[in-house]
Amino acid sequence: MLIDSNKIALHNEDLIKSHTNKLVFTASEIGETESIIQKLIDFQIAIPSWALGTGGTRFGRFPGGGEPRSLEQKIEDVGILHALTQTAGAVSLHIPWDVPEDYNAIKQLASSLDIKFDAVNSNTFQDQKNAKESYKYGSLSNTSEAVRQQAIQHNLDVINIGNKLGSKSLTVWLADGSCFPGQNNFQTALQNTENSLKDIYKALPNDWKMLIEYKPYEPNFYSTVIQDWGTSFMLANACGEKAYSLVDLGHHLPNSNIEQIVSILMLKGKLGGFHFNDSKYGDDDLTVGSIKPYALFLIFNELVYGMQNNPQNPDLAWMIDASHNIKDPLEDLIQSLEAIQEAYAKALLVDQNELKSAQQENDVVKCQEVLQAAYRTDVRPLLQEARLKIGAAINPLQAYRSLNVREELIKERGKHTVATGL
C-alpha cells in the first residue's frame, strides 16, 4: 500500500488554520523557531523490521491482521510511516529473517520510498533450523570453540548482507550469560566474548561501525556477559576506534541514571547507537515516552549537549526498539516517533548558557527552573510545522486512521498474518 501525497495534503488543509494559530502563539512564547524546526526535519529514526508486527509475551500473542510477511512488506510498512511522518527514513534489518532474495529489487523498493538501510542486527540468541551448533549455553562467549566460530561467521555474513544494501553498521546484542551461580566462569566468558568480537571487528569495512549493546539480565537471569555500559565501553575500546557502545533505554536496572551514562559515553566519543522505548519495571519495550517522559527529556538534554559539544563523538544511529503487544504496531510507532521528536524539541529549548551560569553559581533552584521551563513548553506546534514543511501529515495518527491504513493492509494481506522475525 502506498500513501497518496494528495491525501496527506487534503488532511493538512483541514488542520492548517488551527495549526497556524497555535504556531503563532508558540513562536511568541519561545522566540526563534526556525532552527528547531530544521533540526526536527533532519532528525531521522530507523524502524527495526521486527517492530512492524504485533509482539507478544511468553503467555501469548494476539496478531492484529495485515502484518507484513516478507521483507518487501516490512519495507512498505516503513514507507507508510515515513510518508505520514517524514521522520522514519530508515529500516534496520534482522538477520536471518530479512535476507533479501533479490538485492537490487529490495534496494529499488527502499529508495522509491526514500528509505535507507540503517544498522544490521545479527542474531545468536536462538537456534536456527539446520544450524550445526546450539546457542543454548551462549554464542560469542561459549566454552566451545565450534559454537563461537559459528556465531562469529554469522556476524560476518550479516556484515556482508548489510554491505550489499548500503548499511554502515553492525549491531551486536548478546543473550550470553548464565542462569545459575557457578554455571559460568565470568572471566572466561568475558575473555571469549572479547576475542570473538575482535574477530568480527577485523572483518568490518573501513567506513563501518560496530555497535555493542548491553543488558543486565534476561533471557539469562543470573548474569549477562555484557551487562552494563562499562562492559560495553571496555569491549569497544578493546576492539578499536570503529567500535562503540549502544544504549537501549530498556536495558538498565530500575532507576539507573541513563542521562549520565549517555553524557559520559559522548564525552569519551564512544556512544554509537541509541534504542528508544519505555519501561516501568524491566525491558518492557513500551511506547517511547508513555511512562517516563521527563526522564526521556533529561536524556535528550544530554544528547543535545553532546551533539553540540562533543565533536569526538560520531553521529548516532537512532532506532526505536519497542514491542506492541496490544496496539496496532504502526499506530504505536507513530506515537513513539512523536514522543521522540517532542523530547528532542524540548531539549533544544534548554537555554544552555543560562544553565551553565546557574551551575557556575551553584544556583540549584535556577538550574531546575531552566530545565523545567523547557520541559513544560508545548512544542507540538513546532513538530507539526516541521511535518507540514516536508509534506508529512500535520497529525500522522489522525491521518493513518482516516486513510484506513490498517483496513487496507488487511484487505491486501489478509486478517491472519503473522510477521516474521520476532
Minimum distance from residue 285 beta carbon to Mn ion (Å): 9
Nearer CB in complex with Mn ion: 277/384:
277
Q: How far apart are CA 409 and CA 123, in angstroms?
A: 28
Task: Take residue 18 and report the three cell numbers written for it.
Answer: 488551527
Interface with Mn ion in residues 320-359 (CB under 5 A)? 321
Q: Write down the least CB distance from residue 208 to Mn ion, Å.
A: 19
Query: What letter would DSSP give residue 49?
Result: G
Cβ 192 to Mn ion, closest distance in Å? 22
CB of 251 to Mn ion, least distance (A): 7
x/- map, 60-89, Mn ion, by CB under 5 A:
------------------------------
Distances (CA, A) of 45 to 23, 81, 115, 317: 24, 11, 11, 8
Is 252 a binding residue for Mn ion by CB under 5 A? The answer is no
3-state secondary structure at position 321? coil
Amino acid at 294: Y
Give whichever of 290 and 417 is closer to Mn ion, judged by the CB atom.
290
Under rule CB under 5 A, residue 413 binds Mn ion: no
Shortest distance in whole angstroms from residue 398 CB to Mn ion: 29
| Residue 248 touching Mn ion (CB under 5 A) | yes
Q: What angle do CA 388, 2, 290 make, to 5 degrees?
A: 60
Peptide bond connecting 329 to the previous residue in cis, omega within 30 degrees of 0: no
Segment interacting with Mn ion, rule: CB under 5 A, options 135-143, 242-250, 388-396, 408-416: 242-250
Write down the number of H helices and E strands in the chain. Answer: 15, 13
Which span (244-252, 329-337, 338-346, 361-369) binds Mn ion, by CB under 5 A? 244-252
Smallest separation, CB 319 to Mn ion (Å): 7
Please list the alpha-helical segments (H only) found in 318-395. 329-349, 352-360, 364-375, 380-389
Q: CA gyration radius for the chain?
A: 22
Cβ proximity to Mn ion: between 262 and 350 the closer is 262
Of 219-227, 235-243, 269-277, 279-287, the window that binds Mn ion (rule: CB under 5 A) is 269-277
Rounded CA-CA distance 386/277 in Å is 23
Do 43 and 329 contact (CB within 8 A), yes or no?
no
Helix axes 364-375, 329-349, angle to 10 degrees: 140
Q: Which is nearer to Mn ion, 247 or 399 (CB)?
A: 247
Return the number of other C-beta atoms located less than 10 Å from residue 42's C-beta: 9
Q: Which is nearer to Mn ion, 214 or 400 (CB)?
A: 214
Shortest Å, Cβ 241 to Mn ion: 23
Nearer to Mn ion, 169 or 384 (CB): 169
Tell me the window of 157-165, 246-254, 293-301, 331-339 that interacts with Mn ion (CB under 5 A): 246-254
Tell me the CA distances in angstroms from 265 to 130, 293, 305, 306, 363, one per residue in order.
Answer: 40, 22, 12, 9, 26
Which of 228, 321 has the CB closer to Mn ion? 321
Of the candidate spans 66-74, 89-97, 315-323, 327-335, the one that interacts with Mn ion by CB under 5 A turns out to be 315-323
Name, in order, each residue with C-beta under 8 angstroms of 31's C-beta and a sequence gap of 6 or more: none
The CA distance from 239 to 209, in Å, is 11
What number of chain residues touch Mn ion (CB under 5 A)?
Answer: 3
Instruction: Write the burial class of residue 63 (CB in 10 Å: 0-12 exposed, 13-18 middle, 19+ buried).
Output: middle
**What's the min distance (Å) between Cβ of 211 and Mn ion?**
10
Please answer whether residues 379 and 342 qualify as being in contact, where contact means their C-beta atoms are separated by less than 8 angstroms.
Answer: yes
CB of 213 to Mn ion, least distance (A): 6
Does residue 94 touch Mn ion according to CB under 5 A? no
Closer Cβ to Mn ion, 317 or 379, answer by number: 317
Considering only residues 275, 346, 406, 413, which one is a binding residue for Mn ion as defined by CB under 5 A?
Answer: 275
Residue 215 near Mn ion by CB under 5 A: no
Q: Which residue, 271 or 358, has its beta carbon nearer to Mn ion?
A: 271
Distance CA 129, CA 131 (A): 6
Residue closer to Mn ion, measured from CB, 259 or 321? 321
Q: Do 84 and 387 contact (CB within 8 A), yes or no?
A: no
Question: In this complex, which beta carbon is closest to Mn ion, that of residue 37 or of residue 319?
Answer: 319
Check binding of 19 to Mn ion (CB under 5 A): no
Taking CB under 5 A as the binding criterion, the range among 16-24, 83-91, 275-283, 349-357 that sits at the site for Mn ion is 275-283
Binding site for Mn ion (CB under 5 A): 248, 275, 321
